[in-house]
Structure 1
Amino acid sequence: MTPDEAMPADLGRLWRLPASARLGRPAELDVDTVVRTAVELADRGGLDEVTLTKVASTLGFTKMALYRHVGSKDELFELMSDLALGPAPDPTAAPGRWRDGLRQWAHALLAAYAAHPWVPQLPIAGPPRGPHAVGWLDAALRPLAATGLDWGTKVGIVMLVSMHVRQASLLTQQLTDGRAGSGLSEAQVNQNYGSALARLVDAQRYPEAARLFAAPLFRSPPSTPDDSDFTFGLELILNGVAAEIAAPQADR
């Protein structure tokens, strides 16, 4: 690698490439120690607990000592996300069963977000760059390998599925937080919502909404699993993927 092709420092740290040796005492800190400490803080108290100052204080160092291993808070977030995601699952679907493979991948990503709820809250600064993030990308692309779709379409499908997982995770967190102080279950919240809106909505002004609130949907206890909305949305996306695969090449 020529000097003009030198690896960016932040990318080298993300992939844990060996740093150039420095004279003097061995460093008492390393990237892994800093990032694992930040992940532990986020797991305990959310992203608000993660600042370079707090991470340094937890480790018994000054903030300036961290800059040798983490260039900025944004870089720290990227390092944390890649570590928290962990290795991607190996697809277990049979070759050619792309729907099963993507379905397994989506549910695995949702479980990873449930284990570290702060990960989907992180800002998206660009495409996947870390070893784990690239591993998750690879695992999502493998079920699509034999579909005949071009690379742009396959990447677009992976982005669409991952966005659905991300938004479902965030929505679940927000709804849970929203009713945390009420002591009500999701079913009770929905029933109260439907009952109140049924009395307020004018059928002449909002005809379809009025019919919705008069329907049994909000009055009856849910008979579907808690993840039914996530599964419904995922299956709609997969149906769209199936239509894209079946479309003639000239129509794509």
Structure 2
Amino acid sequence: MTTEYSGTGDPRRSLELLWGAQERRPRRGPRPRLTVEGIAAAAIRLADAEGLEALSMRRIADELGVSTMAIYTYVPGKAELIDVMLDRVHGELTPPDGVPGGWRARLEHVARERWALYHRHPWMLQVSTGRPPLGPNLLDAYEAELRAVDGLGLSDVEMDSVISLVTGFAQSAARTSVEVAQAERRTGMTDEQWWQATAPVLQKHADFRRYPLADRVGTSAAREYGGAVGPEHAFEFGLRRVLDGVEVLIRSRVGGG
């Protein structure tokens, strides 16, 4: 699977694209046929359908019915385009403001929004974002997520850490879920079918007297999940435990501990 890295293009050009500086500049002549937004939308559709490995300026140009050089007139390269794509899909996130139930319900909303976003756009999981694209949609999302834990007695660093913990958990859980779905599509075999084919052979060759706990627990889990892993169960279970941990932190601050 292809791995890309955000923030690896020209920082100035990326920021200009993210904030629409290029399209605000005065132009002479007829109205341009293409826009950065249109190019990014086409790239997102292509990546949604085929993954980042299919993404190229030529493919995008074909989708839009223009020459490859026409794309480069608006976007200098794939690295800058990926920054724009990431920012634009972050605009799909619904802010947690107004979610009833206090901070815990708001953070749960944040996690579920992220989980759903990664499933709509699985290619996001192929992009390492150690250098995040600092565009308007990503910053809007970060600002809204921070409001979910504002005024709870946490320090600024703790607020950032809580949001990173929740969104990072959602990303990790979604990765497993997406990979399970992709494995099913590529093999034509469901996880349950794979397990039914694997279990008898494993029982024949492995001496499970050496692994009494693995045998007991693994069998119970496989029966529950219908396969080796249960992505939805892992997300629900893990989210509750993450929020439990955040609650301990908040109570320690409120109680002065």
Q: Same fold (TM over 0.5)?
A: yes
> Does the alignment pair 1:8 with 2:12?
yes
- From 60, 66, 82, the equivalent of 1:61 is 66
> Does the alignment pair 1:82 with 2:87?
yes
Equivalence for 1:147: 152
Work out which structure has the larger RCO, using CA pairs closer than 8 Å and 6 or more positions apart in sequence.
2
Cα separation, 1, equivalents of 2:200 and 2:152:
47
- From 90, 93, 116, the equivalent of 2:99 is 93
Cα separation, 1, equivalents of 2:187 and 2:60:
34
Shift of 1:64: 3.1
Equivalence for 2:245: 240
Letter in 2 for 1:93: V
> Does the alignment pair 1:133 with 2:128?
no
Distance 1:115-1:250 versus aligned 2 partners, 3 A rule: same
Q: How many residues align?
A: 242
Shift of 1:60: 3.5
Cα separation, 2, equivalents of 1:238 and 1:187:
30
Equivalence for 2:77: 72
Kindly indicate whether the alpha-carbon contact (under 8 Å) linking 1:110 and 1:165 is maintained by their aligned counterparts in 2: yes
- SS where residue 118 of structure 1 aligns? helix
Shift of 1:76: 0.5
Kindly indicate whether the alpha-carbon contact (under 8 Å) linking 1:194 and 1:218 is maintained by their aligned counterparts in 2: no
> Does the alignment pair 1:46 with 2:68?
no
Kindly indicate whether the alpha-carbon contact (under 8 Å) linking 1:128 and 1:137 is maintained by their aligned counterparts in 2: no
Kindly indicate whether the alpha-carbon contact (under 8 Å) linking 2:93 and 2:117 is maintained by their aligned counterparts in 1: no
Cα separation, 2, equivalents of 1:193 and 1:141:
45
> What 5-or-longer segments of structure 2 have no aligned partner?
1-10
Shift of 1:196: 5.0
Distance 1:131-1:87 versus aligned 2 partners, 3 A rule: farther
Shift of 1:193: 5.1
> Does the alignment pair 1:156 with 2:161?
yes
Cα separation, 2, equivalents of 1:128 and 1:243:
32
Percent identical residues: 28
Distance 1:139-1:71 versus aligned 2 partners, 3 A rule: same
RMSD over aligned Cα, in angstroms?
A: 3.0
- SS where residue 180 of structure 1 aligns? helix
Shift of 1:183: 4.8
The C-alpha deviation readout for 1:148-198, integer Å capped at 9, x for no partner, is 111111111111211211122221121122233555443444455555555
* TM-score, length basis structure 1: 0.80
- SS where residue 88 of structure 1 aligns? coil
Answer 1 or 2: which has greater helix percent. 2
Distance 1:212-1:194 versus aligned 2 partners, 3 A rule: farther
Letter in 2 for 1:109: R
Equivalence for 1:216: 220
Equivalence for 1:4: none
Equivalence for 2:121: 116
* TM-score, length basis structure 2: 0.79
Equivalence for 1:3: none
Equivalence for 1:170: 175
